[in-house]
Amino acid sequence: MITDSLKQEFIHQLTHAHTAHRIPGIVASLFSSQQTYFTIASGLRHCKHSDPVTINDQFRIGSCGKAVTGTCIASLVEQGILGWNQPFSDLQSKLDFEIPHRYQNATLASLLNHTSGLSVMLSLKDANDKNRYTPEGRIKCTENLLHEHSDYTPGTFNYSNAGYLIAGTIAEQITRTDWPSLITQNILAPLQITTSIGEPTLISKEQPHGHCFLDQQYIDNKKALKMPFDSPVIAITDLPPHERYPHPLSISPIGNINFSVIDHTVFLREHLKGLVGIDGILSSQSIQALHTPPSSLFYAIGWNIHDLHGLQVSGSSGWCGTFYAYVLLCPSLDFGFTFLCNAGHTQACQGLALEAESLFLLVRNYMKNMSIHALDHASE
């Protein structure tokens, strides 16, 4: 049983983040494999407007969407349509694009755990073309990525967004089904949840606006990380469309999707269920495989697997310039939390990462105490 005091402390820490890290709005949830303990919303949709964020609002989740892509591919693997370790050379006859010799032995698993040897950055060449999200159009993006020069050796880790786009394209080609339909059929419909693509304000003006430092969108990520914390914060939607962050529809398998915190929690609970041995839309074995990195590495498929204060956790963070998302799952104590915010400047991202660790300790200690009390009562 989650006490009101824990909920209030959780709310207090996230509310504090508004002023401490200059974040207009945050939504969050705390959950177990069996239930959602609470879902909260705090703050504003726009830094200069009075509309509050709600738990039904859509937030961009950035690279937290890689877990969605991995889950969809895993479903196709369970159905026998794809294989994790099937070399691309075996798929060539079913694809409408050529796999270069360098990647003939690459696999879906290597694309999604970043060991395929692809180059470090996703080139957005051609990606902003209005037709580029059609399966036919995205083939061009995939071909460009496969033929880009790479200094990375297949089999070694190198975080590459390109692998997720290519995996999505391969899934489209093999199934002859577009990516949104694959996500709907294999994840959204079974869980009775929804998602959307692109800026949330394109869905409705009554949605969160993304925020960042002034002029942040004009510089690369490394320079953005060095911007002073006292830089002015703006709503990106106050700028003309051509001055905003480019998020072409073609990159959806990488993480260009939105969730409400309610629906995001439903999805995350499926992963926590699998981690504690409960079957859901996927078998627990398939979920556990998504959270098992290659030997000596830390990145599995959509998840960072690491030790946090003595407990193994699966974590994920997602940044897309003007929004930030953070997820932690702790299977040994059967809890997880997510929070989504409408700010993507460095101060917000780094600040929320620190808040996440503090919240983890808060909940971990609470759960451990609950377990001790349960054992004490059982022995009476």
Q: Give yes or no: residues 38 and 98 share one domain.
A: no
Do 23 and 120 lie in one domain? The reply is: no
Domain check: are 52 and 170 in the same one?
A: no
For residue 256, tell me if it sits in a domain.
Answer: no
Residue of 107, 63, 72 whose CA lies nearest to 299: 63
- Cβ–Cβ under 8 Å, residues 275 and 288: yes
Measuring CA to CA, how many Å separate 47 from each of 23, 44, 218, 326?
A: 8, 6, 21, 21
Residues 151 and 75 in one domain: yes
Do residues 27 and 339 touch, judged by C-beta distance below 8 A? yes
Residue 296 within any structural domain of the chain: no
Domain that residue 218 falls in: 4-57+199-228+261-274+317-379
Supply the pTM of this predicted model: 0.93
- Asked if 134 and 269 sit in the same domain, the reply is no
338, 30 contact by CB (below 8 A)? no
Same domain, 77 and 53: no
Instruction: For 189-214, give one letter per residue: b (16+ CB within 10 A) or e.
Output: eeeebebbbbbbbeeeeebbbbbbbe
Same domain assignment for residues 118 and 80: yes
Predicted pLDDT at 130: 47
Give domain status of residue 307, yes or no.
no
Tokens (6 digits) for 82: 């794809």
CATH of the domain at 183: 3.40.710.10
Nearest in space to 272 (alpha carbons), one of 319, 315, 318, 317 = 315
Question: Is 345 a domain residue?
Answer: yes
Query: What does the pLDDT look like over 305-331, one tens digit per residue?
Result: 999 999 999 999 999 889 999 999 999
Whether residue 73 is found in the same domain as residue 101: yes
Asked if residue 87 belongs to a domain, the reply is yes
Total tally of structural domains belonging to the chain: 2
Structural domain contains residue 306: no
Q: Are residues 145 and 206 in the same domain?
A: no
21 and 118 share one domain: no
The enclosing domain of 19 has a CATH number of: 3.30.450
Q: Which of 135, 163, 189 is the last residue of a domain?
A: 189
Answer yes or no: is 369 within a domain. yes
Helices 162-175, 135-146: axis angle to 10 degrees equals: 130
Q: Residue-wise pLDDT tens for the chain (380 aa)? A: 677 889 999 999 888 888 899 999 999 999 999 999 999 999 999 999 999 999 999 999 999 999 999 999 999 999 999 999 999 999 999 999 999 999 999 999 999 999 999 987 654 544 444 445 566 667 888 888 899 889 999 999 999 988 999 999 999 999 999 999 999 999 999 999 999 888 899 888 899 999 999 888 776 777 777 888 889 999 988 888 767 766 666 677 887 899 999 999 999 999 999 999 999 999 999 999 999 999 888 999 999 999 999 999 999 999 988 999 999 999 999 999 999 999 999 999 999 999 999 999 999 999 888 765 443 444 44
Tell me what pLDDT residue 309 has.
95
Tell me how far apart the alpha carbons of residues 270 and 255 are, in angstroms, rounded to a whole number: 18
Are residues 326 and 267 located together in one domain of the fold? yes
| Domain assignment present for 236 | no
φ/ψ of 343, rounded to 5, equals -145, 140
Residue 163 and residue 73 share a domain: yes
Q: How do residues 134-161 score in pLDDT, each as one tens digit?
A: 666 678 888 888 998 899 999 999 999 8
